[in-house]
Structure 1
């Protein structure tokens, strides 16, 4: 065997140097076909008027040049150091949305990567109609989102409580650009309106109907909602029967709520079920009640005759169920400033007089917590005329009739005295 053909083993020191040279030649160098550029965030989303930073970096054994390119980068601020470039947009505009390009050079090799910037507008400007729903009566549900962009990322859904409402028939949809109020110039944002037919059998006493509008931006989703209360109208009771009452389904959260969610998940507080109360003759009328012992403590509304007031005046009272809270009336037919009343801590009152001017929806709110309760009053509780006014009219009519009779008697007496002539003169 030829020993000269055998390889000569390298000393350990030489093996270590050779290994270091191999590592240095390959350390940090991008593999063939691999893009070493890294852009964060990978899915940038920013609301109109907000700020965002886009980072573009490159791992390279030597100093690498990294730079954001494009005409639109002049709208922001670009700061670059070896291996890193930062594009800062302090106040994003809708026109800034689109592809952003980052270019870098490493060991005489040029790399390029892009990222899609999404700039959205989705304010809490959701509108619904009608303002009220009555059990057993169908309606056309209308839900609108104002000043939104992009409009093709919107989806609409109706809920009752935390369950999506089924059985609605989609009618039509309107879309148009928003306009400047003064100049009429078209803006970059849009309004979207959708309509549905609500069957009468789906309108029952219970939780509110809530329209939820979601904007899906891929890896992020945002939503707003607006609710419509279901109000039960009262019927005319016999004096000896129990009186059915108006109910409300207001939950602990305000009618409008906004949620930011990860795609595939949604949030929203469930609405408690509605309930009703009855009363016997001679007591004040509770128009609302707490839904149940396990539900949030909602304020109650009572209607009772006003003490020491004539003309059939009534007192509408909203009473909180927790001490240390404050109650305020937030809605009434006409203007609240035209009503007399008093707000004192957990109790607020309004003075009502019979007549159609006071027919309609009343709503009070408790702070803290913004819990709301509503009731609807119509001619069954506030008739067009009251007993006091009728008595006054009867008294006025009686006085007028007495004056007419007195004038008639005086006239007849004068006629009779005139027919008899003057008394005979004394004979001389």
Structure 2
């Protein structure tokens, strides 16, 4: 009797457990799915019933921001387009095979992590500046477990940097939802001699199944005399310029110690679709300058050299590499350096956009021509 009762309970509980968990398949498989603000994502739910029975599958949600749902035999696809912050929440897929019902829950997480890092100061002077701050703008979520800011030397955190504080503020904006501004400040340790040419601020966002990083360089100038205020060439870039003598620089001639060695200078000027850099050394005859360093490969840039003057073209098309530009004076070996940091990448309009505009203009022209013909044709 007890054996029969146990068998009856097993048969009764079995279908209930299967209905609670079972054969529903959801892609992606993660319980939390991240989608970027303004981005798109698809969630697919499938169910196969035993015995060739028809399966019913449907995505459901508790609010109007569920998204576009397309359901068919045994499957349902939830499409989230141009995700807003209000689109975050729980989505439930419900499927049934006859009298058995199954469900799976997915948490949709909407995040914002634009490449909008700012640093203060924009450049450091070795031996003078002791504090540095880094700010990530228009981000969410902004909790410390998700978003972290770090100060790097190379690919490692700067040893000895002391965290001074963490600030979290709401960004002023219109519309629904909240975006935040996160600032981290550090007290710098001695940077050593010679000081490294660049530190980096890095923002890292860790989400389920996803890790994103943005970096902003912080140039380190080696002496106060080499520091100049940033020069804005356009809304696209911030420039920081400095000169540094080479170890091969000759000493001033005896008896004329007030006159130092001649040094090259770098000047910048806007150019069509970019920026033109000029390195020159007004030091008299017999001197020549040449470009020795540029972000990426020097061979990728258009250059012209003529004695004491050398030109280099920096295109804005796409996102050009950021870093140091350097030219050198011969004889003597003195160098001049320029640090270029693109703030906004402004790619040219795509061919598809141009073609679409042309088609629209032709359609408008045809429409106007037809109406003019209708109005001006002689009455029949």
Does 1:190 find its partner at 2:180? yes
Please give the alpha-carbon distance, in whole angstroms, between the structure 2 residues aligned to 1:200 and 1:66: 63
Q: Kindly indicate whether residue 350 of structure 2 is the aligned counterpart of residue 372 of structure 1.
A: no
Aligned residue for 2:257?
none
- Between the aligned partners of 2:37 and 2:162, the Cα distance in structure 1 is 34
Give deviations 1:144-189, integer Å, cap 9, x for gaps.
0000011111011111112221211111121111113xx7x78521
**TM score, norm. by length of structure 1:** 0.53
1-structure distance, mates of 2:306, 2:141: 45
**Whole-Å Cα distance in 2 between the matches of residues 115 and 366 of structure 1?**
45
For 1:326 and 1:301, how far apart are their aligned partners in 2?
Answer: 12
Deviation at 1:325, TM superposition (A): 2.0
Matched, 1:220 2:220: no
Aligned position for 1:292:
none
**1:45 corresponds to which residue?**
34
Question: What are the Cα deviations for residues 220-242 of structure 1, in whole angstroms up to 9, with x where unaligned?
Answer: 1101010111111277xxxxxxx
Partner in structure 2 of residue 179 of structure 1: 172
Greater relative contact order (Cα < 8 A, sep 6+)? 2
CA deviations 1:296-342 (Å, max 9, x no partner) are: xxxx996632659xxxxxx99772564562369xxxxxxxxxxxxx9
Map 1:80-119 → 2, pairs under 5 A: 80-119=71-110
Structure 1 residue 53 displacement after superposition: 0.8
Give 5+ residue unaligned stretches, structure 1. 1-28, 236-244, 247-255, 257-273, 289-299, 309-314, 329-341, 350-363, 376-428
Would you tell me which structure has more strand in proportion to its own residues? 2
Q: In the TM superposition, what is the alpha-carbon distance from 1:284 to its structure 2 partner?
A: 4.0
Superposition deviation, residue 89 in structure 1: 1.1
* Residues 278 and 311 in structure 2, CA contact (< 8 A), matched pair in contact too: no
Q: Deviations over 1:252-304 (max 9, x none)?
A: xxxx9xxxxxxxxxxxxxxxxx994431248643689xxxxxxxxxxx99663
Which residue in 1 is equivalent to 2:248? Answer: 278
- The question of whether the paired residues in 2 share the 8 Å contact of 1:68 and 1:102 is answered with yes
CA deviation after TM superposition for structure 1 residue 193, in Å: 0.8
Contact 2:133 2:185 in 1 (8 A): yes
The structure number with the bigger radius of gyration is 1
Displacement of 1:212 in angstroms is: 0.7
State the distance in 1 between where 2:38 and 2:303 align. Answer: 37
Query: Residue 120 of structure 1 contacts residue 149 of structure 1 at CA under 8 Å; is this kept in 2?
Result: yes
Q: TM-score, normalised by structure 2?
A: 0.59
Find the aligned partners of 1:324 and 1:69 in 2 and give their Cα distance: 54
Cα distance in structure 2, aligned partners of 1:165 and 1:320: 29
Partner of 1:145: 136
Which residue of 2 is the match for residue 348 of structure 1?
311
> Partner residue of 1:122?
113
Alignment partners' CA distance in 2, 1:145 and 1:101:
34
SS of equivalent residue, structure 1 residue 95: helix
The verdict on how the C-alpha distance between 1:114 and 1:223 changes in structure 2, with shifts beyond 3 A counting, is same
- The 1:286–1:205 alpha-carbon spacing in structure 2 relative to 1, beyond 3 Å, is farther
- Matched with 1:319 is 291
1:218 Cα shift? 2.2
Runs (4+) of structure 1 exceeding 3 A deviation are 29-34, 71-75, 200-204, 274-278, 281-284, 300-303, 315-318, 320-324, 364-371
Please give the secondary structure, in 1, of the residue aligned with 2:71: strand
Question: For 2:202 and 2:65, how far apart are their aligned partners in 1?
Answer: 38
Tell me the equivalent position of 2:3.
none
Q: Are 1:229 and 2:219 counterparts?
A: yes
Q: Does the CA-based 8 Å contact 1:326-1:366 persist in structure 2?
A: no
CA RMSD of superposed structures (Å):
4.1
Secondary structure of the residue aligned to 1:86 is strand
Contact 2:41 2:80 in 1 (8 A): yes
Q: Residues 204 and 194 from structure 1, CA distance in 2 versus in 1: closer, same or farther, beyond 3 angstroms?
A: farther
Query: Do residues 199 (structure 1) and 189 (structure 2) align?
Result: yes
Taking the TM superposition and a 5 Å limit, the aligned residue runs for 1:388-427 are: none
Instruction: Report the number of matched residues.
Output: 266
1:197-246 deviation per Cα after TM superposition (whole angstroms, max 9, x unaligned): 113355852241101100000211101010111111277xxxxxxxxx99
